[in-house]
Chains A and B, each alone.
Chain A
Amino acid sequence: MSNYNLEKRRYVIAFVATAIVVVYIVRLFTLQLLSDDYKKNADSNAFLKKIEYPSRGAIYDRNGRLLVYNQPAYDIMVVMNEAKGRIDTLEFCHALGITKEFFIKRMNDIKDYSKNPGYSRFTQQLFMSQLPSEEFSFFQEKIFRFPGFYVQQRSIRQYQSKVGAHILGDVAEVSPYDIEEDSYYQPGDYIGKLGVEKSYEKQLRGEKGVQILLRDARGRIQGKYMDGKYDRKPIAGKDLTLAIDEKLQALGERLMEGKIGSIVALDPRTGEVLCMVSAPSYDPRIMVGRARAKNHRALAKDAWKPLLNRSIMGMYPPGSTFKTSQALTYMTEGIITPGTAFPCNHGFYYRGLHVGCHSHAAPIALVDAISTSCNSYFCWGLYYMIGNRSKYKTPYNAMNTWRDYMVSMGFGYKLGIDLPGEKRGMIPNADYYDRNYRGSWNGLTIISISIGQGEVTLTPLQIANLGATIANRGYYYRPHVVRKVQGEPLDTMYTHRHYTMASRRAYDYVVAGMRSSALKGTCKALSRLPFEACGKTGTAQNHGRDHSVFMGFAPMNNPKIAIAVYVENGGWGADFGVPIGGLMMEQYLTGKLSPAAEAQADAMQARRIGYGPRFSQK
């Protein structure tokens, strides 16, 4: 090809460029001047995207009692472009019951990009949120006098009773972080912040709908755009049915008044959480609407930390309730047999080490050791297990075998309950001791873990779950507070059995021990109950007064409830833990309290433990 030919190619390229521009101009011509669709809505017609909010799912307890529902509230919206200079400010403030200063400040805040990043003078901006119906009805009569102001119907959460704040959680306006995380949210939307409101947010919230409306130059709605072709209807949120028994929860919260601690009750047959009390609690009804921010701040300042859900976030030494897990481990591993007896002379004395014990007959075997909660027995057990070189070769292996048993019982890791913020507790392993004792440790060094002290910590939920594994004689289901999501099958992770490493035979002896404890041992207060209860007390040592702990289940055969009670600084397990646990089991299994029990409950409700002031006097 000659050079001349190549030079001609400039015309080809120029032609292509011209052709593209001509085609585009023709397209512009048809879009802007010929097309009828757009012409009709030309000039200053604009679209108004009206969000239609779905109703949030309601929450019921296990017996179908309504716990949380929605109540209409009204957001006052403003379109700046329309409101500007056209309303009587004084009259407006009067109608809404606000001051002129508030009005001016609010209007300035709306226009401030740093406070309201999505601001546009052509779209609705939130002026005031969550006006209750009473206040709104007064305003509504006058709204025609305030051009540019609109009403957006929303719903706010209402709580039927004051119980279950930690489980139910609450909703609040989305934070900028939430919006960034999930583009579903827009400023002003609500999102679950705690409890099941948070963990089941996706199911509860439903799906927003949108209507695309046409407006004329004066902002009047002219109708739907393309007859609603692009509209979407809102889809209502799904209702939740909790596993919680409202009456049991209410009793638990009543018994824990003035105390710090937790009660967790599980249905061992399903892993359902029957009640989850964290004390001190608060009334969920104060976390609603415009008062939420103020009340939330007050609770956050409270020295007793009522916002903390101690049932899953509190990591406590389990004390003697832990001995059951030790008995299971030693027996399954063959360290002890049911007949093995260890001496106890007011405690465990060995090579200068002393772990104290109360006075009881000695030496004793497994069932009695559980029944009387003998420290010495379990210390000897751990000592022989860690020191058993013929079986494990090294204390390192023995320790890790021990750890594996503990983990199989649901300790040391999160159980995976469907509530936010669960803690995993602490189960030490051999590496942990190697680090902390520079490799120089043996069964004696770590002896206190055998009685649920030392490095071991559990959440009350994990203690209750220990009760469930014993009740089931060897397995548990992942605990969950939501029993059913409307229209969805239960997640299979809640129907899968987790087996522990302990043998069935070991469980039978531990159950016998716990039953013996309820009849004549540390829990003998349970013997009055009209069903066969099994229990184990705990008296967990700590820096202050001992914590009072109880773990139990009932009835012994065919158990329906497993329970953990933890009262901080309550002293002996038998002092607070056992009576509370007994009342709770009675309430759940018989559906009511006997008159005598009712009197006992009143007395327990009135008891106070001196924890010091709740609010600092700064």
Chain B
Amino acid sequence: MINDKPQSIWSQVDWLTIGLYIALMLFGWLSICGASYSFGDNDLFSLDTRSGMQILWIGTSICLGFVILMMDSRFFDTFSFIIYGVLLLLLFATIFNPHDIKGSHSWLVIGPLRLQPAEFGKFATALALAKLMSTYGYNIQRWKDFAAACAVVLVPMLCIVGQRETGSALVYLTFFLMFYREGMPGSILFTGVAMVLYFVVGIKYEGIMLFDTPTSVGKFVVLLLVQLFVAGMVYNYVHNRKHTNTIIGYSLVLTTIAILFDVYVIPFDVTWVQLGMCLALFLYLLYHGLRTRLPQYFFILAFAVGSVVFFYSADYVLNNVMEPHQRVRINVLLGLDEDLAGAGYNVHQSEIAIGSGGLKGKGFLNGTQTKLKFVPEQDTDFIFCTVGEEEGFIGSAGVLLLFLVLILRLLALAERQPFAFGRIYGYCVASVFLFHVFINVGMVLGLTPVIGIPLPFFSYGGSSLWGFTILLFIFLSIDAKRNMLKA
């Protein structure tokens, strides 16, 4: 080995990731064939069809990846803020773009090309974050530094919300996962996730009644969650097993008794029992806080009170303050109203499509369910339906595992970076993929709200494929040259 000569990039690049990348794209292409195919005579490679166009996108993506690998990795470090600035300008300009495609202004039309700048905003934001947070003396636990990082995330988000693409904007929240790795207190992340959970669960299941009694499942579950979360926090921050057990014990026993009474004796609204238990919990925490003088108890109390207040005020704002059309928009985002013909029809159809796949699926191009246009957006946001229907449990579980391996591999690669810049960027990449898979597959399976974001490497479309390719290959390029920079 001659050490002063730069090692060949081909010996340094992570072939496992590239292999996963290629495999996912091929799988994606097969699914697009299935989703857009409809008659025996049509040519899968013709540019008139989406399957043919996707080949074009895949080909250009691979070229793009190659170019990025060949670039000097210091380029990204040096130009990260400039790239971020340019993308911000583009995102901002797109708000005012006159092309209205399906009610969204997020498409930039340049001649025959239609680009969605939001897809490219992700890598630019990741680069800017990596650059900002790897500067000497940066400490995310200082609120000023933390605020700067948040601003870098929020500005592109606002632009994308302005383009009426709330779904794409939400993706940027995934960077908080990276903040967590870089030292943001875990309680912030936990509180954020808890609030989203309260909101989504509370609103989505508000109208559903528990066993036909006057208890709203949404409110009931949220209040129960508050108690369980508090128990978990007591265990985690105060390390008091006894108190944890007391809370969980009382909570579960009383809830069970209340429900049994509700179902078998006199139907009443169990929510009141839950609310009463939450109040008792506040007093319990206050008592222990005053007794032990441990500040943790007060923080947990604040969390508990905040949770209940947040939930009830969100409920109040939604039902009493908002205009009907704003409420509809939120309901659509939560997947309550995504279909005018009847609540949950689309998700129901996509569940049927997946369910009809069985163990082995109906075979390539043999899915009937997706072709009958029952499933909306079947080659973009709902592409996972086709995988489920044509490739069955084996295929769809396999795809999920491939994504899992990719994400875990990216985490491992991130951890082996010698510099914070590479590590931070790597975590950003992994977080973006995780978020996309989480939301997209979850919505197709009827588990998460219907938020229209693509499944990486699967959903049809040039912008998203290019965006993900750039995101991934910048990281691979940085990773491949990690040892050169060390020297």
Contact = CB atoms under 8 A, between A and B. Distances in A.
A and B held together in a complex: yes
B55 interface: no
Interface in B108-127: none
A37 B348 CA distance: 12
Given A24-B400, A39-B358, A121 B40 contact: yes
A22 to B, nearest CB: 9
B34 interface: no
A121 B38 contact: yes
Contact of B356 (A23, A29, A41, A113): A41
Given A20-B437, A28-B354, A9 B39 contact: no
Contact of B183 (A1, A25, A123): A1
A43 interface: yes
Given A111-B41, A122-B372, A38 B356 contact: yes
Contacts of B182: 6
A459 B427 CA distance: 73
A45 interface: yes
B327 interface: no
Nearest to B38: A120
Interface stretch (A10-18, A57-65, A299-307): A10-18
Contact of A13 (B48, B180, B355, B396): B180
Contacts of B404: 17-18, 21
Contacts of A24: 400, 441-442, 445, 447
A509 B119 CA distance: 76
A17 B408 contact: yes
A21 B400 contact: yes
B442 A43 contact: no
A429 B396 CA distance: 73
Contacts of B438: 20
A278 to B, nearest CB: 39
A367 B49 CA distance: 77
B373 A120 contact: yes
A232 B341 CA distance: 10
Contacts of A49: 372, 374
A47 interface: yes
A528 interface: no
Contacts of A14: 407-408, 411
Interface string A93-121: 00000000000000000010100000111
B332 to A, nearest CB: 16
Instruction: From A37, A44, A48, name the one whose CB has the most chain B CB atoms within 10 angstroms.
Output: A44
Contacts of B411: 10, 13-14, 17
B46 to A, nearest CB: 10
B337 interface: no
B209 interface: no
Interface in A132-183: none
Given A10-B415, A13-B181, A122 B371 contact: yes
Taking residues whose C-beta sits less than 8 angstroms from the other chain, chain B's interface range is 35 or more
Contact of A44 (B41, B368, B397): B368
A32 B392 contact: yes
Given A6-B181, A24-B445, A25-B400, A230 B342 contact: yes
Interface in B345-380: 345, 351-352, 354-359, 362, 366, 368-369, 371-374
Nearest to B396: A28
Contacts of B403: 21
A27 interface: yes
Nearest to B140: A6
A385 to B, nearest CB: 49
A31 B415 contact: no
Nearest to A1: B183
A46 interface: yes
Contacts of A27: 445, 447
Interface string B404-439: 100110010011000000000001001100100110
Given A6-B181, A24-B400, A35-B355, A120 B447 contact: no
A591 B407 CA distance: 87
B393 interface: yes
Contacts, number: 136
Instruction: From A7, A38, A113, name the one whose CB has the most chain B CB atoms within 10 angstroms.
Output: A38
B39 A120 contact: yes
B401 interface: yes
Contacts of B430: 13, 17
Contacts of A119: 38-39
A584 B182 CA distance: 91
Contacts of A25: 397, 400-401
Nearest to A32: B393
A6 B407 CA distance: 19
Nearest to B352: A38
B448 to A, nearest CB: 10
Contact of B354 (A6, A12, A31, A41): A31
A33 B374 contact: no
A330 to B, nearest CB: 52
A37 B396 CA distance: 19
A398 interface: no
A169 to B, nearest CB: 29
Contacts of B359: 32-33
A42 interface: yes
B400 A6 contact: no
A468 interface: no
Contact of B393 (A7, A18, A33, A120): A33
Interface string A331-348: 000000000000000000
A244 interface: no
Interface string B232-274: 0000000000000000000000000000000000000000000
A399 interface: no
B362 A31 contact: no
A72 to B, nearest CB: 28
B354 A44 contact: no
A49 B369 CA distance: 11
Nearest to A37: B355
Given A27-B445, A28-B445, A121-B39, A42 B358 contact: yes
B343 to A, nearest CB: 12
A369 interface: no
Instruction: From B345, B372, B415, name the one whose CB has the most chain A CB atoms within 10 angstroms.
Output: B372
Contacts of A45: 356, 368
B177 interface: yes
Given A17-B408, A24-B441, A113-B48, A47 B369 contact: yes
B388 interface: yes
A80 interface: yes
Contacts of A1: 183
B39 to A, nearest CB: 4
Nearest to B369: A46
Contacts of B40: 121
A29 to B, nearest CB: 7
Nearest to A49: B372
Contacts of B427: 13
A230 B342 CA distance: 8
Contact of B355 (A12, A38, A48, A121): A38
A124 to B, nearest CB: 11
Interface string B32-59: 0000001111100000100000000000
5 closest residue pairs by CB, A with B: A38-B355, A46-B368, A121-B39, A32-B393, A21-B404
Interface of B: 38-42, 48, 177, 180-183, 186, 341-342, 345, 351-352, 354-359, 362, 366, 368-369, 371-374, 388, 392-393, 396-397, 400-401, 403-404, 407-408, 411, 414-415, 427, 430-431, 434, 437-438, 441-442, 445, 447
Given A13-B411, A230-B345, 8 more contacts: A16-B177, A17-B430, A20-B438, A23-B447, A24-B400, A24-B445, A39-B355, A120-B372
14 contacts: A13-B430, A17-B434, A20-B438, A25-B401, A28-B354, A28-B397, A31-B354, A31-B355, A31-B388, A33-B358, A43-B362, A119-B39, A121-B39, A122-B372
